[in-house]
Amino acid sequence: MSEATLQAKVLTVSDGVVAGTRDDTGGRGMAAYLREHGFEVVAHEVTADGADNVTAALTRLSAGFAGLVVTTGGTGFAPRDQTPEGTRMVIEREAPGLAEAMRLVSPLGRLSRGIVGIRAQAIICNTPGSPKGCIEQLAAIIDVLPHALRLLADTPTSH
């Protein structure tokens, strides 16, 4: 797996975007950021808030997929912010070091309940819904993601 073959999918979690009352600036910004960092964005979907909706979408997006799945939205304290709960129902193993690094990027990052985990050969990463917050948090780990994805694919690495 070379960096040129890295693939990503973006899932926007937002009742407002689904209802058409809110613009998906976070999801579009995330897709553009990923492209700028060598990822081919092969899907960008939207789902409503809530653990069950997130679980269903992530199950579908990660099935048979070797790459990065990034969620935007649903990581805060509002009652419908249940992206981490839905993500935990899909992942097989957590990657707490990545989530911790993401939270350290800004004071508001400490309010994120987002997690990062692994399902087969996919890394699933929760980020906030704000356009600034989602990019800031992914920027904290973007440098190690290609290596992590190569490890998941059992591709030879330099270590």
Domains in the chain: ranges and CATH: 3-152 (3.40.980.10)
Angle, CA of 9, 61 and 79, to the nearest 5°: 90
Q: What is the pLDDT of residue 34?
A: 98
| pLDDT tens figures, 99-119 | 999 999 999 999 999 999 999
CA distance 86 to 88: 6
Q: What is the pLDDT of residue 76?
A: 94
Give yes or no for residue 63 having a pLDDT over 90: yes
Q: How far is CA 157 from CA 18, 119, 147, 152, in A?
A: 41, 20, 8, 11
The more confidently predicted of residues 156 and 42 is: 42
Task: Indicate the pLDDT class of residue 5, thresholds 50, 70 and 90.
Answer: confident
What does pTM read for this prediction? 0.95
